[in-house]
């Protein structure tokens, strides 16, 4: 398991010495951070009313 964690950390961009010393817990921390960052960078969902307003404005512009 440690070798798999080291390989995954190397693929995540860690330097070789740190990657091969990584533990499965380190891998879980990095994966959790990547998920949190991806969610933080997603655009905010649009409400149905805002969507309908925008759609109506675009339809009138044609």
Number of domains, the chain = 1
| pLDDT tens by residue, 22-43 | 777 887 888 898 899 999 999 8
Q: 3-state class of 30 per DSSP?
A: helix
Q: Which segment of 11-15, 23-27, 30-34, 50-54 scores lowest on mean pLDDT?
A: 11-15
Q: Please, is 54 exposed, middle or buried when counting C-beta atoms within 10 Å of its C-beta (0-12, 13-18, 19+)?
A: exposed
Q: Which residue has the tokens 């190397």?
A: 10
Q: Which secondary structure element, helix H or strand E, spans residue 27, and what is its range?
A: helix 24-41
Domain that holds residue 54: 2-61
Structure tokens at 55: 């759609």
pLDDT score at 2 = 63
């Amino acid at each position: 398991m440690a070798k798999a964690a080291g390989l995954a950390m190397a693929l995540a961009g860690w330097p070789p010495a740190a990657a091969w010393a990584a533990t499965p817990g380190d891998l879980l921390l990095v994966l959790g951070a990547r998920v949190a960052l991806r969610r933080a960078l997603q655009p905010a969902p649009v409400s149905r009313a805002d969507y309908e307003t925008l759609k109506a404005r675009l339809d009138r512009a044609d």
